[in-house]
């Protein structure tokens, strides 16, 4: 009833009412563009609109006449309170000015947890793996080639951040090493661990990074050669408070198949209350996995979804989505933070990868997100006084 009163007030305010006789009015229709005839007599008013014929009660057109004739005080929709996001600009400026120095120190501390595998066979001793990872991360952070970043790596060695200077050809060799990929994922998970105390909700999504390689083929229909740029697909889980990346998987598989993997990687260090994702992740298996992890799944349902069968959490969230949509969306829209994560990574470290080798492209994406996490920790140092500590779980 309140909604009809508000719509009636809008019709009356538009000034389109026309009086045809002492008790008859023509009221404009918002949906059809025509007019409805309202009999506004002393008895019960009537209207020719479909709403009145179905309900036999006051419709918005009758309320419009009520307002016009009697100037009744009508309820108005209360506008939502304006949300203001404050920024501690002094802390923000300090974090940005000193970010590089802190990132180097944090990266050095993170690399100290890397165990060098024993060397077998003959030959000169290999470069320590911790130094190699540090140097590769510096190359991605600087956004330059291995040759051009050599002077910066030499300075890092002089400052004691690496045990030896890493040549540029060693960087290229290790960037193409598939054995480096699982190590980088572990380092990324550990880089997010210092924020485990404040992050209890995560959002999941995927994005693509452009490459310098292309697929080429001959199109028989159009009779010409065509090409399409290749992309590296990254599946990420993001903390919704700080936009820290809690886990990352880089492959070209479907989104829904990667949620459980990201969830398992995140729960190594984080205790979760909520997980949000778009309808691409909507499946009974995913909701059940989130429920087993002790979190509530806020995943949008597809239009043709029903709750006829499936686990209890599937039915429960489906009815919550259908009948308490506003409450559901308040939690669901936390997933927009993962889009912020992607924007932060791409603006700072580039939306494309420099590497041409497919393995090196995957490793480069891991380095981008790892460096993003370190930058987030720098902001937390200045804004909340965080003292990051790595590898605490392993020491315990």
pLDDT digits (tens, 9 = 90+) for 74-92: 455 566 677 777 788 899 9
Q: Are 60 and 48 in contact (CB under 8 A)?
A: no
- Reference 104, options 149, 53, 40, 55; nearest CA is 149
Tell me how many degrees the CA angle 44-47-52 measures, rounded to the nearest 5. Answer: 90
Name the residue with higher pLDDT: 161 or 67: 161
If one counts every other C-beta atom within 10 angstroms of the C-beta of residue 348, the result is 14
Per-residue pLDDT tens over the stretch 307-356 = 788 889 999 999 998 888 889 999 999 999 999 999 999 999 999 999 99
* pLDDT at residue 121 is higher than 80: no
To the question of domain 183-384 being in CATH 3.30.420.10, the answer is yes
Average pLDDT, the chain: 88
Q: Could you tell me which residue, 115 or 203, shows the higher pLDDT?
A: 203
- The whole-number pLDDT of residue 223 equals 86
Q: What is the mean pLDDT of residues 168-181?
A: 93
**Contact (CB, 8 A) for 365 and 346:** no
Instruction: Give the residue among 197, 185, 200 at the shortest CA–CA distance from 389.
Output: 197
Domain ranges of the chain: 2-70, 90-116+127-179, 183-384
**Mean of the pLDDT values across residues 264-279?**
94
């Amino acid at each position: 009833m309140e909604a009809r009163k508000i719509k009636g007030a809008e019709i009356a305010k538009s000034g389109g009412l026309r009086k045809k006789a002492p008790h008859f009015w023509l009221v404009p229709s918002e949906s059809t563009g025509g007019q409805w005839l309202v009999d506004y007599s002393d008895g019960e008013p009537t209207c020719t609109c479909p709403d009145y014929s179905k309900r036999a009660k006051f419709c918005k057109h009758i309320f419009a006449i009520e307002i016009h004739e009697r100037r009744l005080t009508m309820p108005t929709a209360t506008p939502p309170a304006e949300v203001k996001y404050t920024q501690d600009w002094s802390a923000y400026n300090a974090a940005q000015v000193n970010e590089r120095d802190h990132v180097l120190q944090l990266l050095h501390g993170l690399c100290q947890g890397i165990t060098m595998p024993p060397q077998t066979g003959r030959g000169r001793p290999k470069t320590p793996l911790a130094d190699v990872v540090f140097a590769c991360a510096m190359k991605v952070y600087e956004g330059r080639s291995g040759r051009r970043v050599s002077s910066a790596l030499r300075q890092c060695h002089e400052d004691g951040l690496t045990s030896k200077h890493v040549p540029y050809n060693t960087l290229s060799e290790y960037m193409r090493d598939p054995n480096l990929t699982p190590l980088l994922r572990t380092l990324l998970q550990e880089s997010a661990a210092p924020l485990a105390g404040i992050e209890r909700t995560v959002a999941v999504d995927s994005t693509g990074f452009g490459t310098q390689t292309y697929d080429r083929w001959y199109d028989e229909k159009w009779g010409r050669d065509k090409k399409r740029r290749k992309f590296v697909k990254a599946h990420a889980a993001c903390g919704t408070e700080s936009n820290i990346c809690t886990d990352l998987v880089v492959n070209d598989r479907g989104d829904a198949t990667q949620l459980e993997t990201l969830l398992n990687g995140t729960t190594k260090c984080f205790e979760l209350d909520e997980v949000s994702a778009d309808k691409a992740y909507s499946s009974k298996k995913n909701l059940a996995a989130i429920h087993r992890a002790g979190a509530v799944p806020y995943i949008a349902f597809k239009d043709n979804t029903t709750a006829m069968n499936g686990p209890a959490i599937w039915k429960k969230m489906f009815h919550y989505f259908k009948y308490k949509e506003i409450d559901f969306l308040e939690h669901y829209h936390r997933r927009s933070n993962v889009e912020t994560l992607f924007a932060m990574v791409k603006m700072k470290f580039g939306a494309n990868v420099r590497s041409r080798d497919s393995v090196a492209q995957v490793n480069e994406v891991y380095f981008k997100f790892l460096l993003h996490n370190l930058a987030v920790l720098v902001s937390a140092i200045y804004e909340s006084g965080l003292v990051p500590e790595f590898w605490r779980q392993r020491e315990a």
